[in-house]
Structure 1
């Protein structure tokens, strides 16, 4: 598989996009982590202000280890911010914190793509791990059994590709909410939004790259099967 030129035709473009996206995220976050907000509000304070405004007093904001490990846990109603976001009054920090708070607001409102993504998690865990293995096993087995097994693997992996696509509106909407709330709550000024946009748009690109990688891998699997059956 790894020495198939066709594989690189499918895999290389999204891989390059992913590398470019990671570079943009690190570059933008590093740059705007050095620029202090005029309001002096840090990431934790920004998140709490947005949550309070949204009537989410039951959501806890806490620090967590790891770089850019920020996330919202809907099960425990906890918004976890990395140390570089939690305590720093930087443009990058409040942008990331507001984005995660946006997920909490989605949860409260029952945002349908977020609910769909949560329902898909068990299938995605199975599909992303076992799907390619089952597909390759079926690909090298002869007859109807091999064909059936390969398509089972493709179907399982399709769930992972679908999950990546469903993630896009979830992340885009959270960023949209963040940008609106940061200005309306007086956390950043209109002039500071250039930095917020740079950070959140770069982060959004990583999700686009992940979706592209999943879809292209799925198409590669389907192409192999069509080539086998022809």
Structure 2
């Protein structure tokens, strides 16, 4: 494998992407920690707020369950389960209620057949395969000094592009879920006006992690294209 692959200047693109992700992660953790100290006036836990939101939306077939971890919350449309983490499920904080409402936003998207969510679900299998095959194809291609090697590298870049596409499609899904969360928290009276402002900050910080992930993936793809897109055999 050419030594320049590991030490070439384009590696700074990877470093930039990693720094962006680290900053976004630190920001969401600090923001969540800050507003976890604010107890919601309603006194509802994340799980109770989620149940009320789902019922208000006419959704009664989604199971709310407790999972371990911090900010590991997610909605799984395959089995209609809404999983809330340790820091959300039983917490009465504004931050916890906001995160729970965000996951309910995904359940509502699923109920209403929200197009970007449907598209993301369709991309998942292809993106998983792409992310798994991308690097093996590229690495094998580097050791083959022929057109076949270039073809494998190109196939690897295309596979990686599918994973990047998934990251990009995820953005509107997450932004929409947060907008739905804030709106329904206000409509149901679960949070007051000032509390909604706090929730917007928490969900805004969380959204930045998805933006950072997409930016990092795009930078990595750009690096692959710069390194190998125009590779020719000697």
> Under a length normalisation based on structure 1, what TM-score does the superposition of the two structures give?
0.96
Q: Write the deviation string for residues 63-100 of structure 1: whole angstroms up to 9, x where unpaired.
A: 11111110001111110101220111100100000000
Residues in 1 aligned to 2:85 and 2:17: alpha-carbon distance in whole angstroms: 28
Matched pairs, number: 229
1:57-136, aligned counterparts within 5 Å? 57-136=60-139
Structure-1 residue corresponding to 2:175: 172
Segments of 5+ residues of structure 2 without an aligned counterpart are none
Q: Answer whether contact 1:133 1:153 (CA < 8 A) is retained.
A: yes
Residues in 2 aligned to 1:139 and 1:170: alpha-carbon distance in whole angstroms: 37
Q: Answer whether contact 2:40 2:93 (CA < 8 A) is retained.
A: yes
- 1:188 is aligned, of 179, 191, 200, to 191
Residues in 1 aligned to 2:136 and 2:201: alpha-carbon distance in whole angstroms: 38
1:207-226, aligned counterparts within 5 Å? 207-226=210-229
Residues in 1 aligned to 2:214 and 2:228: alpha-carbon distance in whole angstroms: 21
Segments of 5+ residues of structure 1 without an aligned counterpart are none
Residues in 1 aligned to 2:159 and 2:107: alpha-carbon distance in whole angstroms: 29
Runs of 4 or more above 3 Å deviation: none
Structure-1 residue corresponding to 2:7: 3
| Secondary structure class of the residue paired with 1:122 | helix
